Amino acid sequence: MTVELMACTPDPERICGEAAAICTHSGNPEKALRAAIRSGHESVLEHASYTFRITGLSRVALAQLTRHRLASFSVQSQRYVPLKPESQHYPDSIQKHGFSRKAARLSRAAMDLYAEMTEAGVPMEDARYLIPQGVETELILTMNVRELRHFFRLRCCERAQEEMQNLADTMLELCRNTAPLLFRDAGAPCVLGTCPEAHPCGSYHVNPPSLRDHP
């Protein structure tokens, strides 16, 4: 899987800071932004957005990704784009338990039947019903900063599925490179010392970042 940050709002910290300053009539946008994030007043973060190109994501992970409804998605069509038999994603656990060959054989059989059906005239949009969920796809995703922070809280968690966690971790790193203040405390809730899960993983990452006036 590859993740590319295609574009983001220019100077997102300044834009969100100005929004926070408007709300509180503050003369210091950065201080106002820090206070807004610290207080959980995150509506000001909706004024900045990020756009990513994601390649090699499985349809399993895509189904989870699209549950984040405050986002825009443009996904490679299975109605018009022929599927490649080698574009399959398998989680490490399948190999760990010795099922790689069986899984690959089953997927290959499904893809061979898909190719046979489309060559016989079955529309791709109908033949795709046979496709394994591990087939990879490509998409462009846009989220505002508030939704990204929500996404990172859920998907950077150790309890998230590995593929989704890898996606979220990569996106978070790219975001932090552009706007450290906006994403300093982003990530799994245990980064801030709390865990809302009924059955925590036990791998806590307690390292509360400072959102005070100085880094």
Q: What is the CATH number of domain 2-74+136-192?
A: 3.30.1360.170
The percent of residues in the chain predicted with pLDDT above 90, rounded, is: 82
Find the catalytic residue in 34, 146, 155, 176.
Answer: 155
- Could you tell me the pTM of the whole model? 0.91
* 3 state SS for the chain: CEEEEEEECCCHHHHHHHHHHHHHCCCCHHHHHHHHHHHCCHHHHHHCEEEEEEEEEEHHHHHHHCCCCCEEEEECCCCCCCCCCCCECCCHHHHHCCCHHHHHHHHHHHHHHHHHHHHCCCCHHHHHHHCCCCEEEEEEEEEEHHHHHHHHHHHCCCCCCHHHHHHHHHHHHHHHHHCHHHHCCCCCHHHHCCCCCCCCCCCCCCCCCCCCCCC
User: What integer pLDDT is reported at residue 200 of this predicted model?
Assistant: 81
Q: What is the pLDDT of residues 82-106, one digit of tens each?
A: 988 778 889 999 999 999 999 999 9
- Mean pLDDT, residues 182-200: 86
Q: What is the pLDDT of residues 32-82, one digit of tens each?
A: 999 999 999 999 999 999 999 999 999 999 999 999 999 999 999 999 999
Query: Is 155 known to be catalytic?
Result: yes
- Mean pLDDT, residues 183-202: 84
What residue ranges do the domains of the chain occupy?
2-74+136-192, 90-130
Higher pLDDT among residues 100 and 199, named by residue: 100
